Structure 1
Amino acid sequence: MFVQDCVRNFGLVVVLMSVSVASNASVTLSGTRAVYPGDAREITVDMTNQNDTPALIQAWLDSGDPAVAPGVEELPFIITPPLTRIEPKEGQTLRIAYTGEPLPNDKESVYWLNVLEIPAKKKDVEGKNVMRMAFRSRIKLFYRPVGLHGTIYDAAKAITWSMVKDTDHYVLRATNDSPYHTSISGVKLESAGKEYNNKNGGMISPMASKDYPLTDSPGPLKSGTITFRWLNDFGIAQTQVTKLK
Protein backbone atom coordinates (compact mmCIF):
# COMPACT_ATOMS: atom_id res chain seq x y z
CA MET A 1 0.00 0.00 0.00
CA PHE A 2 0.96 3.63 -0.44
CA VAL A 3 1.16 4.19 3.33
CA GLN A 4 3.54 1.26 3.76
CA ASP A 5 5.76 2.57 0.96
CA CYS A 6 5.89 5.96 2.64
CA VAL A 7 6.86 4.42 5.97
CA ARG A 8 9.65 2.46 4.29
CA ASN A 9 10.93 5.31 2.13
CA PHE A 10 10.59 8.16 4.60
CA GLY A 11 11.39 6.44 7.91
CA LEU A 12 8.08 7.42 9.48
CA VAL A 13 5.94 5.90 12.19
CA VAL A 14 2.54 6.82 10.80
CA VAL A 15 -0.55 7.47 12.91
CA LEU A 16 -3.64 7.62 10.71
CA MET A 17 -6.30 10.15 11.63
CA SER A 18 -9.63 10.20 9.80
CA VAL A 19 -11.54 13.46 9.56
CA SER A 20 -14.71 14.35 7.65
CA VAL A 21 -13.09 17.53 6.41
CA ALA A 22 -9.49 18.66 6.53
CA SER A 23 -9.78 20.60 9.80
CA ASN A 24 -6.39 19.46 11.14
CA ALA A 25 -4.70 18.40 7.93
CA SER A 26 -2.40 20.79 6.12
CA VAL A 27 -3.87 19.81 2.74
CA THR A 28 -7.32 21.33 2.38
CA LEU A 29 -10.02 20.49 -0.16
CA SER A 30 -12.09 22.98 -2.14
CA GLY A 31 -15.35 21.80 -0.58
CA THR A 32 -16.98 19.50 1.96
CA ARG A 33 -18.89 17.62 -0.75
CA ALA A 34 -18.84 17.18 -4.51
CA VAL A 35 -21.69 16.77 -6.99
CA TYR A 36 -21.21 14.88 -10.25
CA PRO A 37 -23.87 15.87 -12.83
CA GLY A 38 -24.91 12.91 -14.95
CA ASP A 39 -24.01 14.68 -18.20
CA ALA A 40 -20.53 15.80 -17.10
CA ARG A 41 -17.35 14.37 -18.65
CA GLU A 42 -15.54 14.90 -15.35
CA ILE A 43 -15.51 17.04 -12.22
CA THR A 44 -12.56 18.47 -10.32
CA VAL A 45 -11.69 18.85 -6.65
CA ASP A 46 -8.88 21.25 -5.77
CA MET A 47 -6.34 20.52 -3.05
CA THR A 48 -4.05 23.09 -1.43
CA ASN A 49 -1.02 22.37 0.75
CA GLN A 50 -1.05 25.02 3.48
CA ASN A 51 2.11 23.66 5.10
CA ASP A 52 5.76 24.66 4.71
CA THR A 53 6.75 21.12 3.75
CA PRO A 54 5.70 18.87 0.85
CA ALA A 55 2.80 16.46 1.31
CA LEU A 56 2.32 13.02 -0.20
CA ILE A 57 -1.27 12.37 -1.26
CA GLN A 58 -3.29 9.27 -2.12
CA ALA A 59 -6.88 9.68 -3.34
CA TRP A 60 -9.57 7.02 -3.82
CA LEU A 61 -13.31 6.44 -3.59
CA ASP A 62 -15.34 4.06 -1.46
CA SER A 63 -19.03 3.23 -1.33
CA GLY A 64 -19.48 4.04 2.35
CA ASP A 65 -17.24 1.74 4.38
CA PRO A 66 -14.21 3.73 5.60
CA ALA A 67 -12.38 0.50 6.49
CA VAL A 68 -12.20 -0.71 2.87
CA ALA A 69 -8.67 -0.44 1.50
CA PRO A 70 -8.00 1.65 -1.63
CA GLY A 71 -8.59 -0.22 -4.89
CA VAL A 72 -10.55 -3.10 -3.36
CA GLU A 73 -13.96 -1.94 -4.58
CA GLU A 74 -14.78 -1.76 -8.28
CA LEU A 75 -16.50 1.61 -8.61
CA PRO A 76 -17.63 3.42 -11.78
CA PHE A 77 -15.20 6.33 -11.38
CA ILE A 78 -11.55 7.02 -12.12
CA ILE A 79 -9.50 9.52 -10.09
CA THR A 80 -6.39 11.15 -11.55
CA PRO A 81 -3.85 11.44 -10.18
CA PRO A 82 -4.40 8.72 -7.55
CA LEU A 83 -0.95 9.43 -6.09
CA THR A 84 0.77 12.78 -6.06
CA ARG A 85 3.10 15.11 -4.19
CA ILE A 86 2.07 18.68 -3.43
CA GLU A 87 4.80 21.20 -2.81
CA PRO A 88 4.55 23.72 0.06
CA LYS A 89 1.94 26.46 -0.45
CA GLU A 90 0.96 24.98 -3.81
CA GLY A 91 -2.06 23.14 -5.14
CA GLN A 92 -3.11 20.13 -7.16
CA THR A 93 -6.37 19.23 -8.89
CA LEU A 94 -8.07 15.86 -8.64
CA ARG A 95 -10.07 14.87 -11.71
CA ILE A 96 -12.95 12.44 -11.25
CA ALA A 97 -14.46 10.81 -14.34
CA TYR A 98 -17.51 8.55 -14.55
CA THR A 99 -16.67 5.39 -16.51
CA GLY A 100 -20.22 4.74 -17.68
CA GLU A 101 -21.21 1.62 -15.75
CA PRO A 102 -24.96 1.64 -15.06
CA LEU A 103 -26.14 3.61 -12.04
CA PRO A 104 -29.75 4.34 -11.00
CA ASN A 105 -31.20 7.06 -13.22
CA ASP A 106 -34.18 7.86 -10.98
CA LYS A 107 -32.23 8.93 -7.88
CA GLU A 108 -28.82 10.06 -6.69
CA SER A 109 -26.02 7.66 -5.78
CA VAL A 110 -23.49 8.53 -3.09
CA TYR A 111 -19.82 7.65 -2.71
CA TRP A 112 -17.01 8.94 -0.52
CA LEU A 113 -13.85 10.67 -1.73
CA ASN A 114 -10.84 9.89 0.46
CA VAL A 115 -7.69 12.02 0.50
CA LEU A 116 -4.83 10.61 2.57
CA GLU A 117 -2.08 13.06 3.46
CA ILE A 118 1.34 12.06 4.76
CA PRO A 119 3.63 15.01 5.53
CA ALA A 120 7.14 14.61 4.16
CA LYS A 121 9.97 14.01 6.60
CA LYS A 122 11.87 17.12 7.66
CA LYS A 123 15.64 17.25 7.10
CA ASP A 124 16.40 17.93 10.77
CA VAL A 125 15.09 14.48 11.75
CA GLU A 126 17.10 12.46 9.24
CA GLY A 127 18.09 9.07 10.65
CA LYS A 128 15.58 9.25 13.49
CA ASN A 129 12.36 7.37 14.09
CA VAL A 130 9.72 10.08 14.04
CA MET A 131 5.98 9.83 14.62
CA ARG A 132 4.11 11.74 11.94
CA MET A 133 0.36 12.21 11.67
CA ALA A 134 -1.25 10.92 8.48
CA PHE A 135 -4.63 12.58 7.96
CA ARG A 136 -7.42 11.14 5.86
CA SER A 137 -10.18 13.50 4.79
CA ARG A 138 -13.48 12.05 3.53
CA ILE A 139 -16.15 14.00 1.69
CA LYS A 140 -19.34 12.85 0.00
CA LEU A 141 -19.52 12.52 -3.77
CA PHE A 142 -23.08 12.61 -5.12
CA TYR A 143 -23.74 11.27 -8.61
CA ARG A 144 -26.82 13.17 -9.82
CA PRO A 145 -28.53 11.79 -12.94
CA VAL A 146 -29.94 14.18 -15.50
CA GLY A 147 -33.67 14.88 -15.32
CA LEU A 148 -34.38 14.28 -11.64
CA HIS A 149 -37.62 15.89 -10.49
CA GLY A 150 -37.26 19.05 -8.40
CA THR A 151 -34.17 20.29 -6.55
CA ILE A 152 -32.41 19.57 -3.28
CA TYR A 153 -34.28 22.56 -1.83
CA ASP A 154 -37.60 21.02 -2.86
CA ALA A 155 -36.46 17.74 -1.30
CA ALA A 156 -35.73 19.36 2.08
CA LYS A 157 -39.08 21.16 2.11
CA ALA A 158 -40.96 17.95 1.30
CA ILE A 159 -39.50 15.82 4.11
CA THR A 160 -42.25 14.61 6.45
CA TRP A 161 -41.69 14.06 10.18
CA SER A 162 -43.58 11.75 12.51
CA MET A 163 -43.17 10.10 15.91
CA VAL A 164 -42.75 6.32 15.84
CA LYS A 165 -42.14 3.77 18.58
CA ASP A 166 -38.74 2.11 18.72
CA THR A 167 -38.90 -0.75 21.26
CA ASP A 168 -39.58 1.08 24.56
CA HIS A 169 -39.31 4.71 23.43
CA TYR A 170 -40.33 7.07 20.65
CA VAL A 171 -38.09 8.57 17.97
CA LEU A 172 -38.55 11.20 15.30
CA ARG A 173 -38.79 9.67 11.82
CA ALA A 174 -37.96 11.67 8.70
CA THR A 175 -39.30 10.39 5.38
CA ASN A 176 -37.68 11.51 2.15
CA ASP A 177 -39.77 10.72 -0.93
CA SER A 178 -37.48 12.69 -3.25
CA PRO A 179 -34.67 11.39 -5.51
CA TYR A 180 -32.08 13.45 -3.59
CA HIS A 181 -29.99 12.76 -0.50
CA THR A 182 -30.59 15.19 2.36
CA SER A 183 -27.85 15.68 4.95
CA ILE A 184 -29.36 16.75 8.28
CA SER A 185 -27.03 18.44 10.77
CA GLY A 186 -29.52 18.88 13.62
CA VAL A 187 -33.22 18.64 14.51
CA LYS A 188 -35.36 20.37 17.14
CA LEU A 189 -38.94 19.44 18.06
CA GLU A 190 -41.08 21.88 20.06
CA SER A 191 -44.34 20.61 21.48
CA ALA A 192 -46.56 21.67 24.41
CA GLY A 193 -43.97 24.15 25.64
CA LYS A 194 -41.14 21.61 25.69
CA GLU A 195 -38.11 21.24 23.43
CA TYR A 196 -36.49 18.02 22.25
CA ASN A 197 -33.26 17.86 20.24
CA ASN A 198 -31.07 15.69 18.10
CA LYS A 199 -27.70 17.33 17.47
CA ASN A 200 -26.05 14.39 15.69
CA GLY A 201 -28.10 14.52 12.51
CA GLY A 202 -27.39 12.14 9.66
CA MET A 203 -28.10 11.70 5.97
CA ILE A 204 -31.46 10.53 4.62
CA SER A 205 -31.20 8.49 1.43
CA PRO A 206 -33.55 9.05 -1.51
CA MET A 207 -36.98 7.43 -1.18
CA ALA A 208 -36.16 6.27 2.35
CA SER A 209 -36.66 7.10 6.02
CA LYS A 210 -34.30 7.73 8.92
CA ASP A 211 -34.98 7.77 12.67
CA TYR A 212 -33.57 10.46 14.95
CA PRO A 213 -33.51 9.80 18.71
CA LEU A 214 -34.42 12.87 20.77
CA THR A 215 -33.34 14.14 24.16
CA ASP A 216 -35.65 13.39 27.10
CA SER A 217 -37.37 10.57 25.15
CA PRO A 218 -40.72 12.20 24.36
CA GLY A 219 -43.88 10.14 24.20
CA PRO A 220 -46.23 9.66 21.24
CA LEU A 221 -46.63 13.35 20.42
CA LYS A 222 -49.39 14.23 17.97
CA SER A 223 -48.38 17.80 17.15
CA GLY A 224 -45.36 20.06 17.24
CA THR A 225 -43.00 22.27 15.27
CA ILE A 226 -39.91 20.81 13.63
CA THR A 227 -36.87 23.00 12.97
CA PHE A 228 -34.02 21.27 11.19
CA ARG A 229 -30.77 22.25 9.54
CA TRP A 230 -29.59 20.62 6.34
CA LEU A 231 -26.58 21.11 4.05
CA ASN A 232 -26.82 22.27 0.45
CA ASP A 233 -24.45 21.38 -2.41
CA PHE A 234 -21.85 23.80 -1.05
CA GLY A 235 -21.99 22.41 2.49
CA ILE A 236 -23.78 25.54 3.73
CA ALA A 237 -26.37 24.94 6.44
CA GLN A 238 -29.97 25.82 5.59
CA THR A 239 -32.82 26.08 8.12
CA GLN A 240 -36.23 24.57 7.46
CA VAL A 241 -39.33 24.77 9.66
CA THR A 242 -42.28 22.41 9.31
CA LYS A 243 -44.95 20.63 11.33
CA LEU A 244 -45.02 17.20 12.92
CA LYS A 245 -47.37 14.93 10.98
Structure 2
Amino acid sequence: MLPTPNLSHLTREDFALVYEPAEDSFILLDALEQDAELIRTCDPTITLEIGSGSGCVSAFIGQIIGARSVYICTDINADAARCTMTTGQVNKVALNPVITSLVEGLSPRLLGNVDLLVFNPPYVPTYEEEAARAQSDRTISGAWAGGAHGMSVTQELLRITPSLLSKEGYFYLVALRENNPTAIAHQAQSELGLACHVVLERRAGIEHLFVLRFSHLNHAVYNPGSQP
Protein backbone atom coordinates (compact mmCIF):
# COMPACT_ATOMS: atom_id res chain seq x y z
CA MET A 1 0.00 0.00 0.00
CA LEU A 2 1.38 3.39 -1.00
CA PRO A 3 1.47 6.05 1.71
CA THR A 4 -0.65 9.18 1.51
CA PRO A 5 1.64 12.08 0.54
CA ASN A 6 3.07 14.16 3.36
CA LEU A 7 1.00 17.34 3.80
CA SER A 8 2.42 18.34 7.20
CA HIS A 9 3.85 21.52 5.67
CA LEU A 10 0.33 22.84 5.01
CA THR A 11 -1.29 24.80 7.83
CA ARG A 12 -4.84 25.48 8.98
CA GLU A 13 -4.51 28.83 7.24
CA ASP A 14 -3.62 27.07 3.98
CA PHE A 15 -6.69 24.85 4.23
CA ALA A 16 -8.87 27.92 4.70
CA LEU A 17 -7.77 28.87 1.18
CA VAL A 18 -7.29 25.48 -0.50
CA TYR A 19 -9.42 22.32 -0.47
CA GLU A 20 -8.23 19.91 2.21
CA PRO A 21 -8.12 16.26 1.08
CA ALA A 22 -11.27 14.44 2.20
CA GLU A 23 -13.17 11.24 1.33
CA ASP A 24 -13.48 12.19 -2.32
CA SER A 25 -9.71 12.66 -2.49
CA PHE A 26 -9.04 9.36 -0.75
CA ILE A 27 -11.32 7.29 -2.99
CA LEU A 28 -9.45 8.77 -5.94
CA LEU A 29 -6.11 7.76 -4.41
CA ASP A 30 -7.46 4.25 -3.79
CA ALA A 31 -8.70 3.96 -7.37
CA LEU A 32 -5.37 5.10 -8.79
CA GLU A 33 -3.50 2.63 -6.60
CA GLN A 34 -5.86 -0.17 -7.57
CA ASP A 35 -5.21 0.66 -11.24
CA ALA A 36 -1.47 1.21 -10.80
CA GLU A 37 -0.40 -1.57 -13.16
CA LEU A 38 -2.94 -0.52 -15.79
CA ILE A 39 -1.67 3.06 -15.58
CA ARG A 40 1.91 1.93 -15.99
CA THR A 41 1.01 0.04 -19.16
CA CYS A 42 0.53 3.32 -21.01
CA ASP A 43 3.96 4.46 -19.78
CA PRO A 44 2.75 7.99 -18.99
CA THR A 45 5.05 10.78 -20.11
CA ILE A 46 2.52 13.58 -19.51
CA THR A 47 0.28 13.53 -16.46
CA LEU A 48 -2.30 16.29 -16.03
CA GLU A 49 -4.33 16.98 -12.91
CA ILE A 50 -7.10 19.55 -13.19
CA GLY A 51 -7.82 21.35 -9.92
CA SER A 52 -4.76 20.17 -8.02
CA GLY A 53 -5.60 21.95 -4.75
CA SER A 54 -3.09 20.81 -2.14
CA GLY A 55 -1.11 18.76 -4.66
CA CYS A 56 -1.87 15.55 -2.77
CA VAL A 57 -3.20 13.57 -5.74
CA SER A 58 -0.39 14.45 -8.15
CA ALA A 59 2.22 13.71 -5.50
CA PHE A 60 0.57 10.31 -5.00
CA ILE A 61 0.62 9.62 -8.74
CA GLY A 62 4.33 10.42 -8.64
CA GLN A 63 4.78 7.37 -6.38
CA ILE A 64 3.04 5.19 -8.98
CA ILE A 65 4.75 6.44 -12.13
CA GLY A 66 8.04 7.90 -10.97
CA ALA A 67 10.24 10.53 -12.56
CA ARG A 68 9.65 9.52 -16.19
CA SER A 69 6.45 11.61 -16.37
CA VAL A 70 6.00 15.38 -16.56
CA TYR A 71 3.41 16.40 -13.94
CA ILE A 72 1.27 19.38 -14.93
CA CYS A 73 -1.17 20.62 -12.27
CA THR A 74 -3.69 23.32 -13.13
CA ASP A 75 -5.90 25.27 -10.76
CA ILE A 76 -7.75 28.59 -10.87
CA ASN A 77 -6.61 29.35 -7.31
CA ALA A 78 -3.15 30.91 -6.87
CA ASP A 79 -2.95 29.54 -3.33
CA ALA A 80 -3.54 26.04 -4.71
CA ALA A 81 -0.63 26.50 -7.11
CA ARG A 82 1.59 27.55 -4.20
CA CYS A 83 0.53 24.58 -2.07
CA THR A 84 0.92 22.16 -4.97
CA MET A 85 4.46 23.35 -5.57
CA THR A 86 5.50 22.89 -1.95
CA THR A 87 3.77 19.51 -1.71
CA GLY A 88 5.77 18.34 -4.69
CA GLN A 89 8.99 19.55 -3.12
CA VAL A 90 8.28 17.93 0.25
CA ASN A 91 7.36 14.62 -1.41
CA LYS A 92 10.19 14.76 -3.95
CA VAL A 93 7.92 14.83 -6.99
CA ALA A 94 8.55 17.55 -9.58
CA LEU A 95 5.07 19.07 -9.85
CA ASN A 96 4.50 21.91 -12.30
CA PRO A 97 1.54 24.07 -11.17
CA VAL A 98 -0.14 26.40 -13.66
CA ILE A 99 -2.75 28.97 -12.65
CA THR A 100 -5.46 28.58 -15.27
CA SER A 101 -8.99 27.32 -15.82
CA LEU A 102 -8.94 23.67 -16.94
CA VAL A 103 -6.30 23.72 -19.74
CA GLU A 104 -6.78 27.26 -21.00
CA GLY A 105 -3.60 28.38 -22.74
CA LEU A 106 -2.10 24.87 -22.60
CA SER A 107 -4.34 22.88 -24.93
CA PRO A 108 -2.37 23.41 -28.19
CA ARG A 109 0.64 21.64 -26.66
CA LEU A 110 -1.36 19.00 -24.83
CA LEU A 111 -3.73 17.86 -27.57
CA GLY A 112 -3.39 14.12 -28.04
CA ASN A 113 -0.48 13.94 -25.60
CA VAL A 114 -2.01 13.48 -22.14
CA ASP A 115 -1.41 9.91 -20.99
CA LEU A 116 -3.03 10.32 -17.57
CA LEU A 117 -5.72 12.92 -16.85
CA VAL A 118 -7.19 13.27 -13.34
CA PHE A 119 -10.00 15.50 -12.06
CA ASN A 120 -11.72 15.68 -8.68
CA PRO A 121 -14.17 18.36 -9.83
CA PRO A 122 -16.51 20.76 -8.07
CA TYR A 123 -19.39 18.28 -8.07
CA VAL A 124 -21.85 19.66 -5.49
CA PRO A 125 -25.13 20.68 -7.18
CA THR A 126 -25.64 24.44 -6.85
CA TYR A 127 -27.29 27.27 -8.73
CA GLU A 128 -25.45 28.01 -11.97
CA GLU A 129 -24.86 31.58 -10.81
CA GLU A 130 -23.10 30.31 -7.70
CA ALA A 131 -20.86 28.02 -9.71
CA ALA A 132 -20.00 30.77 -12.20
CA ARG A 133 -19.19 33.19 -9.37
CA ALA A 134 -17.01 30.59 -7.65
CA GLN A 135 -14.99 30.07 -10.83
CA SER A 136 -14.59 33.78 -11.51
CA ASP A 137 -13.59 34.52 -7.90
CA ARG A 138 -10.84 31.85 -8.17
CA THR A 139 -11.08 30.96 -4.48
CA ILE A 140 -11.72 27.78 -2.49
CA SER A 141 -15.44 27.86 -3.38
CA GLY A 142 -14.42 26.89 -6.91
CA ALA A 143 -13.42 23.49 -5.51
CA TRP A 144 -16.98 22.44 -4.67
CA ALA A 145 -19.69 24.58 -6.38
CA GLY A 146 -20.68 22.46 -9.38
CA GLY A 147 -23.73 24.20 -10.87
CA ALA A 148 -26.74 22.29 -12.22
CA HIS A 149 -26.50 18.62 -11.22
CA GLY A 150 -22.93 19.39 -10.08
CA MET A 151 -21.79 18.95 -13.69
CA SER A 152 -21.04 22.42 -15.09
CA VAL A 153 -17.24 22.31 -14.90
CA THR A 154 -17.10 18.55 -15.49
CA GLN A 155 -19.01 18.95 -18.76
CA GLU A 156 -16.51 21.55 -19.94
CA LEU A 157 -13.68 19.10 -19.47
CA LEU A 158 -15.55 16.09 -20.85
CA ARG A 159 -16.10 17.91 -24.14
CA ILE A 160 -12.37 18.32 -24.70
CA THR A 161 -11.19 15.05 -23.13
CA PRO A 162 -11.14 13.04 -26.40
CA SER A 163 -8.80 15.59 -27.96
CA LEU A 164 -6.54 15.74 -24.89
CA LEU A 165 -6.03 12.02 -24.28
CA SER A 166 -3.26 10.17 -26.03
CA LYS A 167 -4.21 7.02 -27.95
CA GLU A 168 -3.68 4.81 -24.87
CA GLY A 169 -4.42 7.47 -22.24
CA TYR A 170 -6.75 7.26 -19.25
CA PHE A 171 -8.95 9.85 -17.56
CA TYR A 172 -10.03 9.40 -13.90
CA LEU A 173 -13.00 11.43 -12.69
CA VAL A 174 -14.65 11.65 -9.25
CA ALA A 175 -18.46 11.85 -9.34
CA LEU A 176 -21.44 11.81 -6.99
CA ARG A 177 -24.55 9.68 -7.51
CA GLU A 178 -26.37 13.00 -8.03
CA ASN A 179 -24.12 13.62 -11.04
CA ASN A 180 -25.72 10.53 -12.68
CA PRO A 181 -22.74 8.31 -13.59
CA THR A 182 -24.93 6.23 -15.90
CA ALA A 183 -25.76 9.30 -17.98
CA ILE A 184 -22.08 10.32 -17.98
CA ALA A 185 -21.11 6.89 -19.31
CA HIS A 186 -23.78 7.04 -22.02
CA GLN A 187 -22.64 10.50 -23.09
CA ALA A 188 -19.01 9.36 -23.11
CA GLN A 189 -19.72 6.50 -25.53
CA SER A 190 -22.43 8.01 -27.72
CA GLU A 191 -21.07 11.56 -28.06
CA LEU A 192 -17.38 11.48 -27.18
CA GLY A 193 -16.12 8.11 -28.39
CA LEU A 194 -14.93 7.14 -24.92
CA ALA A 195 -15.43 3.99 -22.88
CA CYS A 196 -16.36 4.59 -19.24
CA HIS A 197 -15.94 2.16 -16.33
CA VAL A 198 -16.51 2.44 -12.59
CA VAL A 199 -13.24 1.75 -10.80
CA LEU A 200 -14.54 2.28 -7.26
CA GLU A 201 -17.69 3.40 -5.51
CA ARG A 202 -18.10 4.14 -1.83
CA ARG A 203 -20.50 5.73 0.62
CA ALA A 204 -19.04 8.55 2.71
CA GLY A 205 -21.62 9.99 5.08
CA ILE A 206 -24.49 11.29 2.94
CA GLU A 207 -22.41 11.11 -0.24
CA HIS A 208 -22.22 8.15 -2.63
CA LEU A 209 -18.93 8.59 -4.48
CA PHE A 210 -17.69 7.05 -7.71
CA VAL A 211 -14.39 7.07 -9.55
CA LEU A 212 -14.93 6.73 -13.30
CA ARG A 213 -12.21 5.78 -15.75
CA PHE A 214 -12.41 6.85 -19.40
CA SER A 215 -10.37 5.72 -22.39
CA HIS A 216 -10.72 5.83 -26.16
CA LEU A 217 -13.17 3.19 -27.42
CA ASN A 218 -10.56 1.73 -29.74
CA HIS A 219 -8.01 1.35 -26.93
CA ALA A 220 -6.97 -2.30 -27.22
CA VAL A 221 -5.38 -2.70 -23.77
CA TYR A 222 -7.41 -4.76 -21.29
CA ASN A 223 -9.73 -2.32 -19.56
CA PRO A 224 -11.19 -3.84 -16.36
CA GLY A 225 -13.99 -2.23 -14.39
CA SER A 226 -17.78 -2.31 -14.16
CA GLN A 227 -20.23 -0.31 -16.22
CA PRO A 228 -22.11 2.48 -14.36
Using the size of structure 1 for normalisation, the TM-score is 0.24
Structure showing greater Rg: 1
Report which of the two has the higher share of strand: 1
Judging by fraction of residues, say which structure has more helix.
Answer: 2
TM-score w.r.t. the length of structure 2 is 0.25
